[in-house]
């Protein structure tokens, strides 16, 4: 019982309970909608073109407006930004659900509402990252991030299963209506959060604040090397998810072998967060994070070389654990060391690095999937793409020597 109390220590704090509950509801709805939207559009239109348009129409504004969203999240109360964007996203999903249930899909309207959804995401994500340091004290910050990360991983399993069940029984439109409802619940929960008022800010226009954020990121080696590394990782993972099945189906264990590898990656994700929830607190978090991230490079190389599927599953599980733990350590470090009035601006670069180049990774993976030899070579190259930025990052003393602050106990809010 004591161990579980330690695991769930962040939930002692009232504002974080509201934040976590809203996050859990909305992230499950998000994972649900990824399946429901594509299935619903294919069922109504008879092709995947509308689904491709919808996903593209939401991704472009997300990438374009992330940095602007970070500026506004630093200017305004972050929990209210989140609440407002949840309302927008909820209304969009309710509208999409109604459209699919009607059996009539207007492509122009579909694109417009998806652009609105992507724009709302761009404002919500940096606001959410910047909020957590204000809802839990420092000693619970790492566990809070790990708790949300493990919830995201589990939702990635539960959401699609729920969506598939609803689509097969009552229809995909109802799944989207459910997703819209989760966003509205999340908006209400976010509005209940109470955090200290931000101190008065010096005046400055949008362009100046964008410039300030850019200078802070590019002049701080432990930030820009981290962001660059994450961009490379997301490209490599995208290539792996497209080219990996080609190798598996041709020579490495078939469909079952590939399913085993993907499942192992999910298990590793959960295990990585459990290590942090259990209380492991490295004194030099970015040094540990960089070393943990390096585990992906040999995993990709071994998969490219065609080792047996059980060995692939083991190495990719270790890589998944390393990446997930490293991500939580990075977010916690950013929240502890970046000035409070710049946190969302900096986190917007983090989110941008994970979103902007992923489509390029999928495209490269599609080219690599042309044949097994090409896929092998490209995956081996991706191992180097993962490793090199980590080695460059470790060359900076500010990365190796950055220390976690001593925890300062605080009463539950």
pLDDT tens readout for residues 327-357: 999 999 999 999 988 999 999 999 998 888 8
Residues 7 and 134 in one domain: yes
Q: Is the Cα dihedral 267, 273, 277, 279 positive or negative?
A: positive
Residues 179 and 300 in one domain: no
- Mean pLDDT, residues 22-43: 85
Residues 166 and 107 in one domain: yes
Q: Which domain holds residue 299?
A: 210-400
pLDDT of the residue at 53: 81
In this prediction the pTM is: 0.88
CA gap 92, 89 in Å, rounded: 5
Residues 134 and 248 in one domain: no
On whether residue 223 sits in a domain, the answer given is yes
pLDDT of the residue at 365: 81
Structural domains in the chain (count): 2
Residues 184 and 220 in one domain: no
Residues 181 and 239 in one domain: no
Q: Which residue has the tokens 């090409």?
A: 374
pLDDT of the residue at 170: 86
CA gap 96, 32 in Å, rounded: 14
On whether residue 205 sits in a domain, the answer given is no
Residues 142 and 243 in one domain: no
- Mean pLDDT, residues 201-220: 85
Residue 411 has pLDDT above 60, yes or no: no
Phi, psi at residue 21, to the nearest 5°?
-60, -45
On whether residue 202 sits in a domain, the answer given is no
- Mean pLDDT, residues 282-300: 95
53 Rama class: left (phi>0) / alpha (psi -120 to 50) / beta = alpha
| pLDDT tier, 198 (very low <50, low <70, confident <90, very high otherwise) | low
pLDDT of the residue at 195: 87
- Mean pLDDT, residues 79-107: 93
Residues 174 and 223 in one domain: no
On whether residue 409 sits in a domain, the answer given is no
- For the chain, give the number of residues: 413
pLDDT of the residue at 232: 94
Residue 409 has pLDDT above 80, yes or no: no
Average pLDDT, the chain: 88
Between 230 and 376, the more confident residue is: 230
CATH number at residue 157: 1.20.1250.20
Residues 245 and 393 in one domain: yes
pLDDT of the residue at 3: 57
- Mean pLDDT, residues 243-251: 75
Residues 224 and 189 in one domain: no
On whether residue 406 sits in a domain, the answer given is no
pLDDT of the residue at 410: 47
On whether residue 372 sits in a domain, the answer given is yes
Between 153 and 285, the more confident residue is: 285
| pLDDT tier, 241 (very low <50, low <70, confident <90, very high otherwise) | confident
pLDDT of the residue at 200: 61
pLDDT of the residue at 408: 61
| pLDDT tier, 1 (very low <50, low <70, confident <90, very high otherwise) | very low
Residue 24 has pLDDT above 60, yes or no: yes
Q: Of 131, 161, 193, which marks where a domain is finished?
A: 193
CA gap 270, 274 in Å, rounded: 6
On whether residue 411 sits in a domain, the answer given is no
Residue 47 has pLDDT above 80, yes or no: no
pLDDT in tens, 123-179: 999 999 999 999 999 889 999 999 999 999 888 878 878 888 888 888 888 989 999
pLDDT of the residue at 54: 82
Residues 258 and 121 in one domain: no
Residues 187 and 233 in one domain: no
């Amino acid at each position: 019982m004591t161990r579980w109390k330690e695991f769930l220590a962040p939930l002692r704090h009232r504002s974080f309970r509201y934040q976590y509950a809203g996050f859990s509801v909305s992230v499950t709805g998000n994972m649900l909608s990824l399946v429901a939207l594509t299935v619903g559009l294919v069922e109504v239109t008879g092709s995947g073109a509308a689904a491709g348009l919808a996903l593209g129409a939401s991704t472009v504004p997300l990438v374009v407006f992330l940095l602007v969203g970070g500026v506004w999240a630093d200017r305004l109360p972050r929990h209210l930004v989140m609440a407002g964007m949840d309302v927008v996203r909820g209304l969009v999903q309710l509208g999409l659900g109604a459209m699919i249930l009607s059996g009539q899909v207007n492509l122009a309207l579909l694109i417009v509402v998806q652009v609105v959804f992507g724009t709302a995401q761009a404002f919500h994500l940096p606001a959410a990252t910047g909020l957590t340091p204000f809802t839990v004290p420092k000693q619970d910050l790492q566990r809070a991030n790990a708790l949300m990360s493990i919830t995201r991983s589990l939702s990635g399993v539960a959401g699609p299963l729920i969506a598939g069940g609803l689509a097969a029984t009552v229809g995909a439109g109802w799944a989207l209506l459910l997703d819209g409802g989760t966003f509205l619940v999340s908006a209400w929960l976010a509005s209940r959060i109470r955090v200290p008022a931000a101190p008065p800010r010096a005046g400055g226009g949008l362009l100046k604040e964008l410039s300030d954020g850019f200078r802070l990121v590019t002049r701080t080696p432990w930030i820009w090397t981290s962001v660059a590394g994450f961009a490379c990782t997301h490209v490599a993972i995208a290539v792996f998810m497209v080219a990996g099945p080609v190798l598996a189906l041709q020579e490495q264990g078939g469909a079952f072998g590939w399913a085993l590898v993907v499942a192992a990656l999910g298990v590793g994700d959960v295990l990585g967060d459990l290590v942090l929830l259990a209380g492991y607190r490295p004194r030099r978090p970015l040094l540990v994070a960089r070393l943990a991230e390096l585990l992906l490079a040999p995993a990709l190389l071994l998969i490219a070389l065609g080792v047996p599927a059980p060995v692939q599953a083991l190495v990719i599980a270790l890589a998944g654990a390393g990446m997930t733990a490293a991500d939580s350590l990075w977010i916690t470090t950013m929240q502890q060391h970046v000035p409070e009035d710049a946190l969302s601006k900096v986190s917007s670069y983090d989110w941008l690095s994970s979103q902007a180049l992923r489509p390029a990774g999928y495209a490269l993976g599609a080219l690599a999937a042309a044949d097994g030899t090409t896929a092998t070579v490209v995956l081996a190259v991706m191992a180097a793409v993962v490793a090199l930025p980590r080695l460059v990052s470790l060359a900076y003393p500010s990365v190796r020597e950055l220390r976690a602050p001593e925890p300062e106990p605080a009463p539950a809010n």
